[in-house]
Structure 1
């Protein structure tokens, strides 16, 4: 038996009404989570920190429901471009 926990996997549930997007930003990739308004994690995934990656991230999040709120870590550095993109899409 190995004591190493299994790697996290992408989780997906049925689309819900409104969802909340949370993103942990890094130089090369952004790790995103979609949560129900009650706080249940509906899905997680990783996207490149590029313009195309931002578009894919938002399309992916919208598959779970209407994205009306988002929390982006690092809006003064790595998350600045993603924050601008999300605000422009609102």
Structure 2
């Protein structure tokens, strides 16, 4: 997995200042080429998104799976966001 920040903006603006942050993260999942037969990527992704939701993250986008034409490696990208008071 690769996590990259996509947003870190001031949020909850009041009295000429901000009281929180709007955070965004891009989650890229890279699956190995020869997955075990009993491993279901979709089930793993749903569990990941449920855990993120339980932790207060909003799933903004869950992109389709892509396959690298040279290596046949499957990837998945998920975008999440969260507003946090400071």
Report the TM-score when normalising by structure 1: 0.32
Larger helix proportion of the pair: 1
Does 1 or 2 have the higher relative contact order (CA < 8 Å, sep 6+)? 2
Task: Give the alignment's TM-score, normalised by structure 2.
Answer: 0.33
Structure with greater proportional strand content: 2
